Chains A and B, each alone.
Chain A
Amino acid sequence: MKCEWIRENIVLHVYGELADDARHELEQHVARCADCAAELKAEQDFHALMAQDRAQEPSANLVAASRMRLQEALETAQQGGWWTRLAFDPANWLRQVRFSPALASAILILGFAGGMGTTYRIYGTRIQGPVIQTGERPAANEASIAGIDSITPVPGTDQVSIKYNTVLTEEKRGSLNDQQIQQLLLYAARNYNNSGVRVDSVDLLAQRSGDLQVREALIYALQNDTNPGVRLKSLNALGNYVKGDTNVRDAVLRALLNDSNQGVRIEALRLIEPVKADGSVRGVLMALAAKDQSQYIKSQARTLLAQLPEID
């Protein structure tokens, strides 16, 4: 019995999970019992073998990519109300009801009364037309926007006119400084349905690229938009921030390395020229100078590198 107990607890001993008195008892027994000492040795060997295999740390790129993907999803995610809490943790509700007969009775009575009330409403007021709401309609939030039809700047003013669909197409007119106009533009920049709308919105957002949220939307468009025209416009809009914003610089470098469109890559190369001395930029230039498929980019990268002082 003693040896059986020891064998069941050796693994806990090796993982430091044994209480002090039990550990003492185990050590005393192992000192006297050869079989259990062998078992302890085998478990320790196994532990040492497993210790050679470590869980891999996620790379910085994976962490960053996961965070970005989550941020995008959170933009449209809604937090649950009390009913979601009930759905998420029904066991807790049931526990509360089980321990509160008064609450259980109250729920039963309310349910009964609610059922009676509903029946009365259905049969009591049978003829009823559609309900018409009056008053100003609340502003559409992102989740209720079905699509964006057009974006038209009013010439000579800072006014913009945006047509977007909810259930019906609506129109919002306002200044570029208007928060709702800005939200609609940011939404439009990520709208996959109509590239014309995306080009127009990126064009207007370019005027507000000092705003961090706008820059994030432009970076997103540069990295993900399927239309090279939209990517090129986003790139140009970000141009002034290559020096000051490292996120912008990284995005431009990624475009330079990976974009499928030659025009976008050449523009990216032009934009990083003022920061060519930066370590990450130098690394990218060296890679391009060594083995880029485009002769033009290869020679331009070599020219830029030649202008840099040598590193000892």
Chain B
Amino acid sequence: MAGQGRQISDRRVDDTMLIREAQHGNRAAFEELVRHYDQAVLRLALHLTGTEHDAQDVYQDAFLKAYKNIGSFRFECSFYTWIYRIVTNLCLDHLRKRNVRKEDAPVVKDADGGEYDLLDQVADGRPGANPERDLMRRQLGARIARALEKLTPRERMVFELKHYHGLKLRTVGEILHTTEETAKNTLFRATQKLRGQLADVR
């Protein structure tokens, strides 16, 4: 535990030096900083946007924005919070635009009138895959994805950061420029809606 604490503290010192170097125009230092955070950023963007192409666009825009504006970073929050703030803003924009368009997956209706995604029916041909369990997992994933789509962008973001990324609600509040209390209320609303949507899934 102490070792882990030291690691986090070392990383912070490390980051501070890299940020200062990047603020003086050292591109290599910035690229090193990117490598510390980019997998988490990509994971968040990938799950929120749903496609590698869009996730790459969010990744690119986020780090370019960070690079151009790193001079304004004044160590008032951690770099982690700062970069997540940029990414979540870009993802929120993406979700809002998508809510307007709503033309994403090749969704069709089944005999009961329920919608399902054609791509979810494509079998996983990898060796060692258990087709039956795999199909069930994919169907559950598709139901959850559709339930998540019904949330407002902000509810979706709070739930995403808490449930899939395990962030503390205090950090979620900081990232979204709001209070911990508001983040708690938003999480409550999001889970209530999801429970309603997924009530028949067991």
Q: Which chain A residues have a beta carbon within 8 Å of chain B's beta carbons?
A: 8, 11-12, 15, 17, 42-43, 45-46, 49-50, 52-58, 62-63, 65-67, 69-71, 73-74, 77-82, 84-85, 88-89
Bound CA–CA A73/B66 (angstroms): 13
Summarize B's interface: helix, strand, loop or mixed: helix
21 A/B residue pairs, CB under 8 Å, sorted by A = A11-B187, A12-B169, A15-B187, A17-B168, A42-B195, A45-B202, A49-B140, A55-B44, A55-B164, A55-B165, A58-B42, A58-B46, A66-B38, A66-B56, A66-B60, A74-B27, A77-B68, A78-B68, A79-B70, A80-B69, A88-B72
Known A-B contacts A53-B141, A55-B46, A56-B47; the reply to A69 vs B56 at CB < 8 A is yes
| Residues of chain B contacted by A15 (CB below 8 angstroms) | 162-163, 169, 187
B201 interface residue, CB < 8 Å from A? yes
Interface contact B71-A81, CB-CB below 8 Å: yes
Alpha-carbon separation in the docked complex, A82 to B141 (Å): 46
Chain A CB within 8 A of B17 CB: no
Cα-based distance from A124 to B134 in the complex (angstroms): 80
Report the Cα distance A84→B56, complex, angstroms. Answer: 25
Q: Collect the chain A residues with CB atoms within 8 Å of residue B52's CB.
A: 58, 62
Task: Please tell me which one of the listed residues B46, B60, B144 contacts residue A73 in the complex, with CB atoms under 8 A apart.
Answer: B60
- CB of A53 within 8 A of CB of B30, answer no
Which residues in window 45-95 of B have CB below 8 A to A? 46-47, 52, 55-56, 59-60, 63-64, 67-72
Q: Which residues of A contact B56 (CB under 8 A)?
A: 62, 65-66, 69
The residue in A49, A57, A84 that gathers the most chain B C-beta atoms within 10 A of its C-beta is A49
Interface of A: prevailing SS? helix
Interface contact A11-B144, CB-CB below 8 Å = no
CB–CB B71/A84 < 8 A? yes
Contact present for A70 and B60 (CB under 8 Å): yes
Please encode chain B, from 168 to 202, with 1 for each CB lying within 8 Å of some chain A CB and 0 for all others: 11000000000000001001100100110010011
CA distance A56 to B56 in the complex (A): 14
Using A46-B195, A70-B63, A77-B68 as known contacts, list a sample of 19 further A-B pairs with CB atoms less than 8 Å apart, ordered by residue number in A: A8-B188, A12-B184, A17-B168, A17-B184, A43-B191, A53-B140, A57-B43, A58-B39, A62-B46, A62-B52, A66-B42, A67-B34, A70-B59, A73-B60, A74-B27, A74-B64, A80-B68, A80-B69, A85-B69
- Distance of B186 from chain A, by nearest CB (Å): 11
Closest to A62 in B: B52
Residues of B within 8 Å of A, CB-based: how many?
Answer: 45
Within the complex, the shortest CB–CB distance from B70 to chain A, in Å, comes to 7
Q: Is the CB of A63 within 8 A of B38?
A: yes
Q: Which residue of B lies closest to A58 (CB)?
A: B42
Chain B residues whose C-beta falls within 8 Å of the C-beta of A43 in the assembled complex? 191, 195
Q: Which of A43, A49, A66, A78 has the most CB of B within 10 A?
A: A66
Interfacial chain B residues near A85, Cβ < 8 Å: 69, 71-72
Least distance between A92 CB and chain B CB atoms (Å): 8
Q: Does B137 contact A (CB under 8 A)?
A: yes
CA distance A12 to B67 in the complex (A): 36
- Contact at B38–A73, with CB atoms within 8 Å? no
Q: Whole-angstrom distance between the alpha carbons of A177 and B119 in the complex?
A: 54
- Could you tell me the distance between the alpha carbons of A81 and B72 in the complex, rounded to whole angstroms? 9
What residues of chain A lie closer than 8 Å to B39, measured between beta carbons?
A: 57-58, 63
| Bound complex: CA A70 to CA B69 (Å) | 15
**How long is the Cα–Cα vector from A46 to B47 in the complex, in angstroms?**
20
Interface contact A54-B164, CB-CB below 8 Å? yes
The chain B residue with its CB closest to the CB of A51 is B163
A74 near B141 (CB under 8 angstroms)?
no
- The answer to whether B42 touches A63, judged by C-beta atoms less than 8 angstroms apart, is yes
Which 6 A-B pairs rank lowest in CB-CB distance, beginning with the nearest? A85-B72, A55-B47, A58-B42, A55-B164, A88-B69, A53-B144
Is residue B31 within 8 Å, beta carbon to beta carbon, of the partner chain?
A: yes
Say how far A260's CB is from chain B's closest CB, in angstroms.
Answer: 22
CB <8 Å contact, B70 and A50: no
